Amino acid sequence: MIDTTVADTPAAKVETTTEVITPVSDRPALDAEHPAAQEVQAVVDGKKNYTSADIVKAQHEAMLATPASEPTTVITITTRTPKSGG
C-alpha cells in the first residue's frame, strides 16, 4: 500500500509518501483442528506404517519450505520543496 499526502504551506510544498510492505507466503494456512504441515500430512495419508524418522524428515522439509517470519516494513519519505521567495 502506498499513500501520498501533499500539504501546501506558505513557505513550501510538503509531500509525504508512506509505503507499507507486508510479507507474503504461499504456504497454505494450517487447519486449526489438525495443525499439521502439508508435508507431514502427506506422510500420514500416504503410508499405513510410518516411522518417527519419516515424520521428522517431513517436519524438516516443512520448516525449510516456510519463509522466515519478517515484520511489516513501513517506509516514509518526506520531500519539502521551498516556494520561490519563501
Encoded amino acid at 49, one letter: N
Residue 86: is its pLDDT beyond 60?
A: no
* Global pTM exceeds 0.85: no
Q: How far is CA 83 from the centre of its chain?
A: 40
pLDDT tens-place string over residues 41-67 = 999 999 889 999 999 999 999 888 877
79, β-bridge pairs: 15
| Rounded Cα–Cα distance for residues 86 and 81 (Å) | 10
Are 55 and 41 in contact by the 8 Å Cβ rule? The answer is: no
Residue indicated by cell numbers 506558505: 10
